[in-house]
Structure 1
Amino acid sequence: MADTETPQPLTLTTEIPPVVARLRSTFDSGRTKPISWRRAQLRALRRMLTEERPTWEKALKDDLGKPALEAHTTEIGYVVNEIDHTLKHLASWLRPKRVGVPMSLAPAKARWVREPLGTVLIISPWNYPVNLALAPLVGAIAAGNTAVLKPSELSPATSRVMTDLLPRYLDTEAVAVVEGGVPESTALLEERFDHIFYTGNSAVARIVMAAAVKHLTPVTLELGGKSPAVVEPGVDLATTARRLAWGKFTNAGQTCVAPDYVLAIGDTAQGLQRELAAAITEMFGSDPQASPDYGRIVNERHFDRLSALLDSGEVVAGGRGERESLYMEPTVLGGVDPDSPVMAEEIFGPILPVITVPDLDAAIRFVKERDKPLALYGFTDSEATKRRLITETSSGGVGFGLPIAHLAVPDLPFGGVGESGMGAYHAEASIDTFSHVKPVLDKSLALDTMRMAYAPISQFKEKVIRRIS
């Protein structure tokens, strides 16, 4: 597991300005703009992930106790799929788009083209240290930018592998990795970038935005929040529980879109809690600590934070842990008071509170009274309920019948709203994020049809202009 102490920084803060200047010079040279360069870099990134798969898996095991299959599905294989999808569609995404021209400007042609922004900064978190660093990088490269990656110091093994491997596979004049902690991040934010892409918590996001203001740098903020799961009476509680347990306890609950709490409508809470306990045993056995399919908490500070939340309700399942090995059992809490500590902040760990509400109106009201979450999940057989959850609540994304999986749909943009973030990425949405859409109007000089608009304006000209404009 990662240490609680910040590792010795491996990038000197004095090295950061020359790194950014080098990448900006590369971008200014036009080197990254041809689609051939972009495709070559994406293929090289893919080779790095597939050829060095055991190295990545070991680093993820060291940092988070992440099982090999989970490392594949949520990290390495996920980014490979993102690359493959991008390579398949990149030419069509980059193709200029023709638009119509009003009669007042005819004859003329109009289109919009995408151009890369320049040099971008990607600051990634510790919980999915491969996915959340390299998936944004796929978009940055595909859009034709140069990029600085700043991996989290709380996942030091993955950060070190990234620093070692990226220069072996990618263009070192276009992509750089800066390691370190707060001083290095602060030094990076002093530099002028053309876009900053930050994934993490809202407190640091505010620091990032404040730094970006100095250079009027646009930002994408992928944050988090308390993503609710609404469960209606009449649904298959066994299947619902298995899917909730899968979504919640993947990566030991350290997932930004994991179900944070359950709103059990009517009399569903007791039955759901029994099924959740059964699902945990079915997935991880009677001793999840011995399961090869269950991860660990990232460090002691987060373990202590999570342990303090266990008294917020009745322990229905789990509730045990071992600080030395950073193991916390998959836990379900019943009878949770909405004002209890576990409901005061994003849990970001393997604790699932269940709250009883009388009806759908109360569930919707409960969600709306709080910050907008990164995701909202509904377990219902009613299309009317689905429509209400979509139209009457606001969240980064919505999933019915299955949590967290909307991220695996390549063409669905992923992002938050309000306190859960701003901007989006994945597939074509990543191209949008890391590009400027430039409008182009092309009107020939051969026939000056604009004479009608030139002064002096006669009554006849005014009549024509009013008619066609």
Structure 2
Amino acid sequence: MDAPRLPDPTPTCTLRPTLDTLRAAWRARRPDAAQRRDDLARLRAAFARRLDDMADAISADFGHRARPESLIADGMSVLSEIDALRRQLRAWMRPRRVGAGWRLWPARAQVRHVPLGVVGVIAPWNYPVNLALIPLATAIAAGNHVFLKPSEHTPRSSAFLCELLAEVFPADRVAVALGDADIGAAFAGLPFDHLVFTGSTAVGRKVMAAAAPNLTPLTLELGGKSPAIVCPGYPLDKAAARLVTGKLFNAGQTCIAPDYVLVDAARRDALLEALRFEVRGRYADPAARAADYTHIASDSQHARLTALVDDARARGLTVLPLLEVEGARAFAPTLVVDPGNDAALMQEEIFGPVLPVLSYRTLDEAIAFVEARDRPLALYPFGDRAQVEAILAHVVAGGVTVNDTLLHFAANGLPFGGVGASGMGAYHGRAGFDAMTKALPVLWQSRIAVTDRLRPPYARVARLVDWLVR
């Protein structure tokens, strides 16, 4: 594939006029069910035709990304979500009858989910297509127009998105803004009807502050330190296999990757060995390792990870690189044993293939360790039913996969989002449709109603008032 021409940055002065154009077109003709389904069908067809182009663009941005990871994470996930949206759309759009209460009889009440207008989407670099197109498709399903700001750190993926969306949508239905952090800040300050941001907690705070003057409703999908807890008795080989999958997929550059793992102290060293065995078994063949091991997306991210590991070594911690990897931005999968809270890698989200392994004496101690920190975006308990329920009774997280990692993100029927420092609001499936529509309450009054009599002089209707307030 020829490398796509990288579009020029969007001038800041054009952002508000573009939003105004999108909003004027939406007001002139709100998308009905037929248009929404047609838009989603055309988006799916065009995207499915260009999956190879997408994978090439992402790999070029990363320096190297394992092709199956792009096809699964940025390809399959988007196609699956579009299919689910199209399948459920008519049911979600149907007005839902609710009870008006006997006091308002014979009035009828219903809730209608009506589109908001123009939804802004700020997408990150780690899954540059998935995290742009899933909220975009959800906003389209909800009857909105969309203004997308992809990441400046993945310019070829952004160029791919520009070409794809221009092929599918008219410019007054979906628009794209390109540029650096200054463009992003101006974009977040636009008076959208809803804004979806995916990124770090630090930048999420800035987005929230920028949106506040306009009282723009927000969905913030942030990050944080998502823990895995391996309970006593759970098979270590199975836990290790699933932890490695969750940690090394996309080289750990996943907001819901397990950020650290807690294991009962008597089995800590056995888990370390099981993790080592699993990693080396998967990447034993040098050719397969070169093809299947994803690189870090930028020099700055690689330097940040290097600094985290260097800090651990400087503190005298046991640092265990598990592979030799080649490539300017390849970073070896690395274990760090029992770091203290003062270690840099326990102070910030790691977002790479470095996994701290911490030991605990009792399960209650492990639960307390997690509870003492910000609420995580994801939680991964490995144990039997009673052990898992004990954890879920105490820890509040954005989402949970039991005895595995990452998979709750792929379940279309589950809402996806954080809590506290890991985010607010949710999307995917019905949750996204609800977030990007207004649940409009409508009361239909009858020709004759008891309220016709509720007017002064109230002495005439005293018995009626007493009956209503009983």
Q: How does 1:90-239 map to 2 (within 5 A)?
A: 90-239=89-238
1:46 is aligned, of 44, 47, 59, to 44
2:370 is aligned, of 349, 367, 372, to 367
TM-score, normalization: structure 2? 0.94
Structure 2 partner of 1:3: none
Structure 1 partner of 2:319: 315
CA distance in 2, matches of 1:219, 1:466: 44
SS at match of 1:292: helix
CA distance in 1, matches of 2:452, 2:161: 61
CA distance in 2, matches of 1:115, 1:282: 52
Contact persistence 1:9–1:181 (CA under 8 A): no
Could you tell me how far 1:182 is from its partner in structure 2?
1.5
Structure 1 partner of 2:448: 447
Could you tell me how far 1:368 is from its partner in structure 2?
0.9
Structure 2 partner of 1:415: 417
CA distance in 2, matches of 1:224, 1:9: 30
CA distance in 2, matches of 1:151, 1:412: 25
Could you tell me how far 1:448 is from its partner in structure 2?
3.8
Structure 1 partner of 2:3: none
Change over 3 Å in CA distance of 1:292–1:466 after alignment to 2:
farther
Could you tell me how far 1:287 is from its partner in structure 2?
5.0
Query: What per-residue deviation string (whole Å, max 9, x for no partner) do you get for residues 300-347 of structure 1?
Result: 11111101122423123427666x620001112223223211101000
Contact persistence 1:372–1:394 (CA under 8 A): yes
Q: Which AA in structure 1 matches 2:218?
A: V
SS at match of 1:295: coil
CA distance in 2, matches of 1:103, 1:461: 18
Structure 2: unaligned runs, 5 residues or longer: 1-5
Structure 2 partner of 1:428: 430
Structure 1 partner of 2:457: 456
Contact persistence 1:163–1:179 (CA under 8 A): no
CA distance in 1, matches of 2:72, 2:12: 35
Contact persistence 1:233–1:266 (CA under 8 A): no
Q: Which AA in structure 1 matches 2:51?
A: R
CA distance in 1, matches of 2:195, 2:217: 7
CA distance in 1, matches of 2:380, 2:340: 20
Structure 1 partner of 2:440: 438
**Mean Cα deviation higher: 327-336 or 273-282:** 327-336
CA distance in 2, matches of 1:70, 1:349: 15
TM-score, normalization: structure 1? 0.94
Could you tell me how far 1:15 is from its partner in structure 2?
2.2
Alignment: residue pair count: 458
Query: What per-residue deviation string (whole Å, max 9, x for no partner) do you get for residues 394-444 of structure 1?
Result: 110111111111111110000000000000000111101100000000012
The answer to whether 1:329 aligns with 2:332 is yes
The answer to whether 1:285 aligns with 2:275 is no
Q: Which AA in structure 1 matches 2:57?
A: A
Structure 2 partner of 1:37: 35
SS at match of 2:393: helix
Contact persistence 2:22–2:173 (CA under 8 A): yes
SS at match of 2:172: coil
1:355 is aligned, of 358, 367, 386, to 358
Contact persistence 1:139–1:426 (CA under 8 A): yes
Q: How does 1:261-272 map to 2 (within 5 A)?
A: 261-272=260-271
Could you tell me how far 1:232 is from its partner in structure 2?
1.3
Could you tell me how far 1:449 is from its partner in structure 2?
2.1
The percentage of aligned residue pairs carrying the same residue is 39
CA distance in 2, matches of 1:409, 1:137: 18
Change over 3 Å in CA distance of 1:261–1:153 after alignment to 2:
same
**Mean Cα deviation higher: 370-379 or 188-197:** 188-197
Could you tell me how far 1:453 is from its partner in structure 2?
2.1
**Mean Cα deviation higher: 335-344 or 352-361:** 335-344
Structure 2 partner of 1:339: 342
SS at match of 1:214: helix
**Mean Cα deviation higher: 274-283 or 327-336:** 327-336
Could you tell me how far 1:43 is from its partner in structure 2?
0.8
Could you tell me how far 1:288 is from its partner in structure 2?
8.7
CA distance in 2, matches of 1:466, 1:256: 57
Structure 1 partner of 2:60: 62
SS at match of 1:375: coil
The answer to whether 1:20 aligns with 2:19 is yes
CA distance in 1, matches of 2:288, 2:328: 10
Contact persistence 2:247–2:353 (CA under 8 A): yes
Q: Which AA in structure 2 matches 1:267?
A: A
Could you tell me how far 1:384 is from its partner in structure 2?
1.9
**Mean Cα deviation higher: 266-275 or 109-118:** 266-275
Change over 3 Å in CA distance of 1:40–1:171 after alignment to 2:
farther
Q: Which AA in structure 1 matches 2:458?
A: I
Q: Which AA in structure 2 matches 1:25?
A: A
Contact persistence 2:108–2:443 (CA under 8 A): yes
CA distance in 1, matches of 2:455, 2:186: 53
CA distance in 2, matches of 1:406, 1:448: 49
